[in-house]
Amino acid sequence: QTVVTQEPSFSVSPGGTVTLTCGWRSGSVSPRDHPTWYQQIPGQAPRTLIYDTDIRSSGVPDRFSGSILGNKAALTITGAQADDECDYYCTLFMGDGTWVFGGGTKLTVL
Amino acid sequence: EVQVVESGGGLVQPGGSLRLSCAASGFAFSNYWMTWVRQAPGKGLEWVANIRGDGGERYYVDSVKGRFTISRDNGKNSVFLYMNSLRAEDTAVYYCARSEWARCDWGQGTLVSVSS
C-alpha cells in the first residue's frame, strides 16, 4: 500500500481551477512534513513547483499555489492551460531523514 | 546556473553492479544535500537515497539498504551511487538532484536496465 496518497487522475476544463491533494495513508499532513510538489511532462525530468507547503519555485507561474486543506497538502491550479496536462507528484518527509513520493496524479485538461 | 549531470547508466545482468555519477556545477556543492530518485518505466517517482553536504548523514529507501551506497567527493563536486546485487526491479531512470529539503534541482537522468 502507498504510504502517501494522491488521486490517480483528475480532469479540468481549460481556464478552470483544480485542486490536487497529497495525504498520509494514516494521519494528517502538517508543515513539518515539508510537502513538496513536482510537475513532470512525459519523457522529461521532474520540475519542482511548490516546496515547504506553499513556496513557489523560481519561474513557476502564480496560478500554481500550495496549501494545507483539512488533513492533506493541496496543489491548486487556477486558470488551467493545455500545457498543464502532465503528471504531478508530491513528496512528504518521513521524519527519519527519508522522503516518500505519492503515486502521482495524471492531469487531463479538456 | 545550477547544473547536475548524471552518467554511468547502462545494461547490467541481475546480480551485477554499477556506479552512477553525478557532476554538479553552478553552486557551492558542499553546502547542499544531494539526492537520487528513480523512476521505473511507466511508473511514478521513488526516492532512493540522499547525503548531507559534508557526507555525515546518509539515508536510503528500505528496498536498497545493504545493496546501494551513496557517497560524494566535494573536491570534485560529484556524488555517486554504487549499486550492487542489482535486480530486475531496479530498472529505472535514475535522477540526481541538488536538494534543500525536498526542493530539488534535477538532472536529466540516466537509464539503468537490469536484464539477462
pLDDT single digits (tens) A25-68: 999 999 999 999 999 999 999 999 999 999 999 999 999 999 99
Residue of A86, A98, A107 for testing the chain B interface, max B β-carbons within 10 Å: A98
Cell of residue A24, nine digits: 498520509
Cell of residue B15, nine digits: 546480480
pLDDT of residue A56: 97
Alpha helices in chain A (DSSP H): none
Mean pLDDT across chain A, nearest whole number?
Answer: 96
Q: Which helix (H) or strand (E) segment is B12 a member of?
A: strand B10-12
pLDDT of residue A29: 97
- Tell me the pLDDT band of A100, cut-offs 50, 70 and 90: very high
Which of A45, A87, A101 is the closest to B108 by Cβ? A45
pLDDT of residue A6: 98
pLDDT of residue A1: 64
The single residue listed with the C-alpha cell 495513508 is A25
Measured between alpha carbons, how far is residue B42 from residues A103, B38, B67, B91, B96 in Å? 12, 12, 24, 11, 19
What percentage of chain A has pLDDT greater than the value 70?
99
pLDDT of residue A16: 97
Contact B52/A97 with Cβ under 8 angstroms? Answer: no
CA A57 – CA A39 distance, rounded (Å) = 11
Confidence check: pLDDT of A2 > 80: no
Q: Residues in chain B with pLDDT < 70?
A: none
Contact between B107 and A36 using a beta-carbon 8 Å cutoff: no
Cell of residue A10, nine digits: 483528475
CA A42 – CA A87 distance, rounded (Å) = 8
